[in-house]
Amino acid sequence: MPEITVIRGRRIAGGAAEGEALVADAMLSFWGEVDPVKGTVIAVGHPLEGCALRGKVLVIRSTKGSSATPMVLGLCKLENNAPAAFVNVEADCLAALGCIVHGVPMVADLDQDPFALIRTGDFIRVNADEGTVEITRRG
């Protein structure tokens, strides 16, 4: 049996989802730093530059930057390019709004450091209603 680690956080937007982790100890603006049509991070020099978001559990410090972040998350959703869930250290009000309105589960205010425990490619189950993030190590 693979080892499973569980970290706990606070429900920001309800629901449950699972997918591969995409991890960066960084902030990200959706407008201007994510292309909702290509579904990739386009921020030059960002640790996630070039990465596809579709179906991923996005483990970052928080969103930042543009107030069009919720709108771009909505466009990602309509284009089937949205992350499956957000696992963020801090609950930025723009990620919170975008996830609530556009139906993406989100957990923040975690009880452990996600960057020490989660690596890109790990399999993650997020149950935002329960506030749990279940990590199965891959590779």
**Which among 18, 22, 14, 16 is positioned nearest to 4, based on CA atoms?**
18
Task: Check binding of 4 to another protein (CB under 8 A).
Answer: no
Q: Which of 29, 62, 66, 67 is catalytic?
A: 66
Within residues 99-118, the interface with another protein by CB under 8 A covers 100-101
- Whether residue 13 contacts residue 94, with contact meaning beta carbons closer than 8 Å, is answered with no
Within residues 58-97, the interface with another protein by CB under 8 A covers 61-72, 74-75, 78-79, 90-94, 96-97
Q: Where does this chain bind another protein (CB under 8 A)?
A: 10-13, 27, 29, 32-33, 35-38, 42-44, 61-72, 74-75, 78-79, 90-94, 96-98, 100-101
